[in-house]
Each structure stands twice: as structure tokens, then as C-alpha cells.
Structure 1
């Protein structure tokens, strides 16, 4: 079975939809809930929320800078990024929820204008992509961090074309990094991707959403298997 590529408009709509689902999961969090640890080493839910809000505002700064002819990175440095997250994580649960909501809403207004913009943006040192793919980068952050914030959220509920796009994005992000062993992922929806060092490696099969969660977070699933 194969699935069509998601259109730019579908990705932008999915950013809004998935953000709404995330905010629905966190709206009832108490300050104690926000302080709970996540599977991300050293990060509480508050850290994840601060990172998501910072990420949205960083994307807005990059977009506005390019409008003025100024190319800039998402973050000044890794140290500045970490410092901002640590400070943001000190906020109350209510303030975190408000920051998540307002930053996401502000960014959402900007995303539809990027469809045909091929100017490069640096997401991290050595990793650049065309500005038109920024909505997909944001969608990846929202979906993966929703998993971190709310364990009940499962990416198998994503539309097939969106799950494939996110898996493809994750494969492209990892690339042929020597930090990863050779690996091929084969999605039921018709997509195949290869990451890690060159060589013969393992081959994992299953739904794109489950493969995404496994590749990005090590989340096991009875729906994926090694061939």
C-alpha cells in the first residue's frame, strides 16, 4: 500500500490540529504534573513546554529576520538555548500553558506564507533546510513532544500521509550519521528510508507512526517488527 505525499497546506493544518491536541492534553496539568520527569534525560514536562514555546518564538524571529534580509539561526548558541529552557521551566503551570498557546498561535499565522520560500534556515549547526519546510519541522516538534508530555498520545492516530512525512523528516534529520548503526525503516504505507552508518543493518517494518515513535524515542510497539 502506498500513500500520497502530504501537501504543504495539509502540513500547516496539521500543525494547528496537533498543537490543539497537545494543549488539550496539558490544560488540566497542575504545577505538580508539570514538574514530573519525562523520558528525556534531565527534562521535566516544564522543560518540554519551555522548549516548545521557545522554538515557536525562534521560528518567528527567523521568519521576521528574513523579511528584513537578515539570515539568522534559530538559536544564538546551544548554551543560550539550554539557558532559556531552564529559565522558562521555572514558570508556573498556568504561565507555561499561556506561553505554549500564544507562541503557537503567533507562529501559525506566519506558516502559510512560507509555501514557496526556498531560502535556507539553520535548525542546528550543520543542519539547514528550505524555509518552506519549517512547518514540517514544527509539526515534528509538536508531535514528538506531545508524546513526551502525555504518554497516552500515540502517533498511530496521525493521518497516514502526515505520519509518513514525519517519518521521512526524521530519517532526513538523522541522515547517514556515524552515531547511528545502519538501519532501514519500511513503512506499511509505502515509504522506505535508510539512516546511520553505511553497511548492512537491521530492517524494521510497521506503520509509519509507530516507526516514527520508535526511531525518535525508542518507543516499542507490537505493530513493528524486525525483518
Structure 2
């Protein structure tokens, strides 16, 4: 459901379609750039730096680095199996194996983190560069999707977790294209019965959520502000709250509480 309730005598506001997702070649270029930026930003981290808290509660920078390396390796093997017509779990031993690998990897020193992450990024980027046109629609186990979904996931992980590291990169650097993608992907966080009308500055309005067939919409909330701040809020990161304004029935309201991050695994 994408429309808003009609107001007598007033035409409902038009809601433009979001920007199209990046093409495969564009996505590969985006992943190359995101990986290069990630590597560059961690070049000078010291051992003390990687042991220090990240912006994710309960996680050090080392936890974040170990997690990103694990995602890169996991996505690489998704692709390596997909091109052979096979699927495999994203992580060895599922969620338990993922969590164990993060805890074990978090204690590595800074140089070891850089080496491990660089090896993992090299592997996954090589896998994406090696894809043929038909491979992008090959099934993978990640979210029961296809290879293209895996590329979008890696993009999210590289950009959002770079922000989480607290190395001087904030959500206000996120591209309009990423924000558009996050608006769609994170629509799963909108609670049942709530409709969000996003009005990001400089981007087309977007309506998220609504209700299941036969269920009423309990509230419609308009969220206005910078696209990056809206995306950061949806992603559970810290936006510039001064930029965001939520309204319901023309009155200012609090931003609605969102559901957990959409994931088949209990990941950050």
C-alpha cells in the first residue's frame, strides 16, 4: 500500500517512484569504492584503537572489523557456490559460528585485522568481478535471495559499519543512492499498522509500511529531514535529530519506535 487517505477536496500528494537499483556493473564499482574507502580509513588504527569501543553498544572496533571480514568471506562463498548452481550457509555453523568467529577475531591486533580484512575483501571482490550476466540472478541462501541481493548486502555492511567504527565517517556521507536503497530495505522495520511518509530533502517522497489486507492503519507519520538522517534513523544509527521532524495529523510527534533490523540471524 503506497497511497495516503484522501482528504475531501484535496488531491492526495504524489509519491514518486524510488531511484532504480544499481545495475550489476554499477554495483561492482560501488563495492570496489566502498572496500577501498574502508581499507583506507583503517590504515592508521593502532592496537589500542581496535580495542576501543565502537559506536555499536557492546562492540569494540575489533568486533566490527571481525564482523565485516566474516561477512565478506561469507558472501564470497555464497557467490562461489552460486555460480556452480549450489547454495551454502552464509556462515559456518550458522549464527553460533558467526558469533564465535566475531568474538575470536575481535582480539586480534591492528595489523592482523588489516591483513584478515584485506584478504576477505580481495576474495569477495574477485568473486563479484568474475560473475557472468546470468550469475546475478543465481539463488543464494542469504535471505533466500539471489546474487544481486548479496551485493546490496555487502554494500550496506561496508558503508554502515564504517560509520560504526567511529573513525571520522558519519552517516551524513551516505550517498543518495544508498539512502534510497535503505528506505526500501528497512521498510521491514515499520511496525504493523503504521504508515511512514518519508520526505527526504532533495529526494522523492517515499511511503513505507501500512497494514496487512483487512487491517486498519492506526497512524500515518510524516518524517521530514535530510535523507542521510532519515536513513540513519531507519538503520538504528544516530541521526542529527535536529534535522528530523515527525508529524501526524499536522501535529509534531515523536519518531515511532521501529522493529528490529530485518534479518534471519540475530546480527548487528
Normalised TM-score (structure 2): 0.72
1:48–1:145 contact (8 Å) kept in structure 2: yes
Structure having the higher Rg: 2
Deviation at 1:82, TM superposition (A): 0.2
- Between Structure 1 and Structure 2, how many residues are aligned? 221
1:94 correspondence with 2:111: yes
Cα distance in structure 2, aligned partners of 1:64 and 1:99:
19
Q: 1:190 aligns with which of 184, 189, 204?
A: 204
1:6–1:165 contact (8 Å) kept in structure 2: yes
1:215 correspondence with 2:234: yes
Cα distance in structure 2, aligned partners of 1:92 and 1:206:
40
Q: How well do the aligned residues superpose, as a CA RMSD in angstroms?
A: 2.7
1:27 correspondence with 2:46: no
CA, structure 1 residues 168+140, in 2 after alignment: closer, same or farther (shift >3 Å)? same
Cα distance in structure 2, aligned partners of 1:67 and 1:115:
11
Deviation at 1:95, TM superposition (A): 0.7
1:3–1:160 contact (8 Å) kept in structure 2: no
Cα distance in structure 2, aligned partners of 1:27 and 1:43:
20
Q: Structure 1: 5+ residue runs without aligned partners?
A: none
Cα distance in structure 1, aligned partners of 2:233 and 2:62:
23
Cα distance in structure 2, aligned partners of 1:223 and 1:65:
44
CA, structure 1 residues 99+190, in 2 after alignment: closer, same or farther (shift >3 Å)? same
Structure whose residues are more often helix by fraction: 1
Partner of 2:160: 144
Deviation at 1:193, TM superposition (A): 4.0
Deviation at 1:107, TM superposition (A): 0.9
Partner of 1:226: 246
Cα distance in structure 2, aligned partners of 1:52 and 1:191:
32
Normalised TM-score (structure 1): 0.84
CA, structure 1 residues 168+114, in 2 after alignment: closer, same or farther (shift >3 Å)? farther
Q: Structure 2: 5+ residue runs without aligned partners?
A: 1-15, 248-268
Partner of 1:118: 137
Cα distance in structure 2, aligned partners of 1:176 and 1:209:
18
